[in-house]
Chain A
Amino acid sequence: MEEEIHHGPASSTDYISHHLTNLHTGEGFWNFHIDTIFYSVLLASIFIGLFFSVARKATSGVPNRTQNFVEILVEFVDAQVKDCFHGQSRLIAPLALTIFCLVFLMNFMDLVPVDLLPEIGLMAGIEYMKVVPTTDLNTTFAMSISVFILIIFYSIKAKGGVGFAKEIFFHPFGKWLLPFNFILKVIEECAKPVSLALRLFGNLYAGELIFILIALFTLSIGANELSEILHNLLTPGSIILFMVQLLLGLIWALFHIAVITLQAFIFMMLAIVYLSMAHDTH
């Protein structure tokens, strides 16, 4: 965040739009966001690697630090699930754990200095790179739609096909307002994945954007040569801008620690609540 090295034309608009463009291949629907996929696979691997390495040699004796840390998370998630969800399910607790950890890790990429990884990518010849998978609508919708599918699945499983159909058509206003019930229910159900995805995306996208905007302060210092950068940096105006960027970046990063954790927690909590609502018969 502190230091801006920018190659090529360094206008603010270019800088921002460059940062908001995914590394992609393919056109239209067959457009793969390679950076999003790469980072989510990487982070999922970190999550699985850490938890699996602990789970494989989990001991019921005195746990070591890593196991302790993992168990705190497991216990925390388990407590939330047990609070909300009263049915029997082997899926919901691990699902909640995965959501929390994965969303947190993805969000955490937001705290990595905004230019660090893209610049390293540039050196390796990768032109575009968005490092925060949750600033990609595809990621947030992927998770929320997966949760939505599970909601439908659990509704049908708990109430049966007929019961679920009854709930769709005869709630809340009885059989005389059947079409209205149906529309209401569809809106209600669809609002769940949409709100889940957009909330997470909006928070993280805005956070990322503010990091980018803070980085703009010293954009003018950027140059191709290191000596030039040092020369530019030594003017009084640059020093002030540099200090302002440093301070704002620090404040925003500290604030953002709370935001990313909170968003991960909210996503997990709402998924649990929606699934337990699906499970409960009215």
Chain B
Amino acid sequence: MSINVTLFVQMLVFLLTVWFAMAFIWPMLVAAMEEREKKIADGLAAAAKGEDSLSDAKNEADKIILDARNQAREILDEANTRASSIVEEGRKEGSSERTRLIEKAHGEITIEANKARDELRAEVSNLVILGASRIIEKEIDPIKHKELLDKIVAEI
């Protein structure tokens, strides 16, 4: 057991090993490990971000649905108003039309009735004159009694 040249050989072996580890082993391993660490951190961050954006999208979707619902309700309300106003207008128009038609019919009827009455009157007067002339053919001179006859016709 003695210290001798083996010491220096061993130092050489040791230092070469250390040098090799420093140059070719440690940096590669640490680089790979750090890269993996970064990858994992990035992955976790991306996952968190994805979760965030998912909840954002959910909120957005909720908002859109709410808006749509409100809009639908507004449209429905408007449509209802419009419908009832149309119905109202229709009813108004209908009733005025009816009144007009009725009035018109009334007028026509009156005119027709007057006409018919006039005709009837003329007919009756003719008939009366005919009858009367038959009865009193000789007695009555149509020209002489025209005034009287007209008076009768007017009275019928």
Contact = CB atoms under 8 A, between A and B. Distances in A.
A137 B1 contact: yes
Interface in A137-152: 137-139, 141-143, 145-146
Given A44-B17, A60-B35, A28 B29 contact: no
A52 interface: yes
B21 interface: yes
**Interface residue range, chain A:** 35 or more
B122 to A, nearest CB: 122
Q: Secondary structure of the B side of the interface?
A: helix
B27 to A, nearest CB: 8
A30 B8 CA distance: 11
A228 interface: no
Contact of B10 (A59, A63, A93, A138): A138
B90 to A, nearest CB: 77
B5 A32 contact: yes
Contact of B33 (A48, A71, A90): A71
A12 interface: no
Contacts of A138: 3-4, 6-7, 9-10
Contact of A31 (B6, B11, B15, B30): B6
Nearest to B38: A60
B5 A102 contact: no
Contacts of A33: 4, 6
Nearest to A44: B17
Interface residues of B, number: 33
B53 to A, nearest CB: 26
B73 interface: no
Nearest to A56: B28
B10 A36 contact: yes
Given A58-B32, A74-B29, A98-B17, A37 B22 contact: no
Interface of A: 20, 26, 28-33, 36-37, 40-41, 44, 47-48, 51-52, 54-56, 58-61, 63, 70-71, 74-75, 78, 90-91, 93-95, 97-98, 102, 133, 136-139, 141-143, 145-146
Given A40-B13, A98-B14, A142-B11, 15 more contacts: A28-B4, A29-B5, A32-B6, A33-B4, A36-B10, A37-B6, A37-B10, A48-B21, A48-B25, A60-B35, A74-B29, A74-B30, A90-B22, A97-B26, A136-B10
22 contacts: A29-B4, A29-B5, A32-B6, A36-B6, A37-B6, A44-B13, A52-B24, A55-B26, A55-B29, A56-B28, A74-B26, A74-B30, A93-B26, A94-B22, A95-B21, A138-B6, A138-B9, A142-B7, A142-B8, A142-B9, A142-B13, A145-B11
